[in-house]
Amino acid sequence: MSEEILKLSCVELQRKITKGEVKSSEAVSAVFERIEKHDVQIGAFLSTFKQDAMARAKEIDSKIAKGQKVGALAGVPIAVKDNMCTTFGTTTCASKILENFRSPYNATVIDKLLAADAVIIGKTNLDEFAMGSSTENSGLKKTVNPWDKSRVPGGSSGGSAAAVAAQMCFAALGSDTGGSIRQPASFCGVAGLKPTYGRVSRYGLVAYGSSLDQIGPLTKDTADCALMLNVIAGHDGKDSTSVDEKTAPKCDYLAKIDEPVKGLKIAVVPELFQGADSEVVAAVKGAIEIYKKSDAEIIEIKMPHFEYSIAAYYLIATAEASSNLARYDGVHYGYRTKKAGDYIEVYTKSRAEAFGQEVKRRIMLGTYALSSGYYDAYYLKALKVRNLIRSDFIAAFQKADCIMMPTSPTTAFKIGEKMADPLQMYLSDVYTIAVNLAGVPGMSIGCGFDKNNLPIGLQIISSTFQEEKLLRIAKMFENQTDFHKQKPRINTDKYEKKLTTNEHE
């Protein structure tokens, strides 16, 4: 029974729960059986809430039994990246500096999940403060890729991606500042959506790069992304950068998900394929061929400023981070050193003892970029280049409905492979970062496997606030393929993909 339940998508599970065909408590039990069996190896979760989740599931089951109205995620077990504040459990950001932090309030997305009757089962691992591309920068735990335990799950939402791929939850929330939803989604073979900047409230998301951060879902398939976006999107008075309904009305992203986009025009940037592994290029080109066969028109374009996105990003994001992370002072909350002689040392030693290397490196780089004498040459220059990068996107969307490219130049790399050289790690975000700088929505869906049976992601990017169309475009591909239905085999040394929905691990 529990294996049957685990195969369901969120959309399917929610329907079955509301019809009384499956109990939420059964789904929660199934998920915890799975976590107890596999998470010792995978390491996706930093904390779980088994008792509370079971109690909540039973409440929802009894509401349904009494015929009461329930929400869009009724009884569905969901995981949340541990950089979103919850009044229950801790909110650690995978940092020693917040290891014991208990938030006095919920992030808006958490309140929205709860209002939709979701069951939050646990909080997932990440690169410390979401700074990284492999989850290896977590200060608290190691997470591995469910497809190959010697490889990284991607990052920074690596725990969320691994948890969805390993069927230890039905969907998860992640955050994406430079690719942190899309790249782990690609590495773990799940769907991941970064909405338009401003679509989802960032209230209660621990800030990293505030002009770039955006919360989004990681799910088994595109329809589940649409369902999750339905729940979390919308204006929030507590986040002045969340757009109002007049500027960009939200809609029902699930209602027309199966309606193909007529006269679809897809832009591709041939130069951008040069930097990717040949197997990744072949899979992405194969995916574009499938669209072509469905009468999509492929338009070759140039994005002359795209290649500058990593350089601009690592100034802008680190500058914002250096300011955002000034709040960790060893005074108001979080870790305090035991070795402070005076109040200055409370700051300097608390921060030095509790921040990890990557966080320190980014604070240093950002502080340098903002410091007197360097501001114009670095920070201001990067903001101007950001404008040029955005103009590339604006020009592209005048010609096409979306842009397609790989999510990542490679499949999941080996644990430790890029840890010695931070610049090499940064360069692995080459395809995702420009999307954040331009503020547009982007998505990764599975489009193939390499010779090591590691998932390959197709990135689809659309214009500002066009998530509805973006999701429909992604769904057109899923309707013709079964990459999204393949699951990793865990717990053995050999991994094999499964070819039909009926098979499972």
Which residues are tagged catalytic?
81, 156, 180
Q: Closer to another protein at the Cβ: 292 or 327? A: 327
Nearest-approach distance from CB 242 to another protein, in angstroms:
9
Which H/E stretch holds residue 328?
A: none
Count each helix (H run) and each strand (E run) in the chain, helices first. Answer: 16, 11
Kindly state the smallest distance separating residue 44's Cβ from another protein, in Å: 26
- Continuous H helices in 189-277: 222-232
Q: CA 342, 348, 352 angle in degrees (round to 5)? A: 135
Measured between alpha carbons, how far is 355 from 95 in angstroms, rounded to an integer?
A: 7
Q: Which is nearer to another protein, 219 or 436 (CB)?
A: 436
Distances (CA, A) of 473 to 154, 177, 206: 24, 23, 31
For residues 411 and 446, give the distance between their C-alpha atoms in angstroms, rounded to a whole number: 11
Cβ at position 302, least distance to another protein in Å: 15
Nearer to another protein, 301 or 383 (CB): 383
Give the interface with another protein as residue ranges (CB under 8 A): 100-102, 104-105, 197-198, 211, 237, 240-241, 243, 247, 305, 308, 310-312, 314-315, 322, 326, 329-336, 340-349, 351-352, 355, 357, 360-361, 363-365, 367-368, 371, 378, 380-388, 390, 422-423, 426, 438-440, 464
62 vs 424, which CB is nearer to another protein?
424
Q: How near is the Cβ of 439 to another protein at its closest, in Å?
A: 3
Q: Which is nearer to another protein, 37 or 349 (CB)?
A: 349
Which backbone phi and psi does 280 adopt, to 5 degrees? -65, -45
Angle between helices 24-42 and 10-19 (to 10 degrees): 150
217 forms beta bridges with 173
Residue 323, preceding bond cis, omega within 30 degrees?
no
How far is it, in rounded angstroms, from Cα 321 to Cα 208? 5
Q: Which residue matches tokens 């085999």?
A: 489
Closest CA to 445 of 209, 164, 65: 164
Instruction: Give min distance, CB of 108 to another protein, in A.
Output: 15
Task: Tell me how crowded residue 399 is: count the other CB atoms within 10 A of its CB.
Answer: 12
d(CA 204, CA 225): 21
Least distance between another protein and beta carbon 466 (Å): 14
Find all residues with CB under 8 Å of 493, minimum gap 6, and list them. none
- Least CB distance to another protein at residue 381 (A): 5
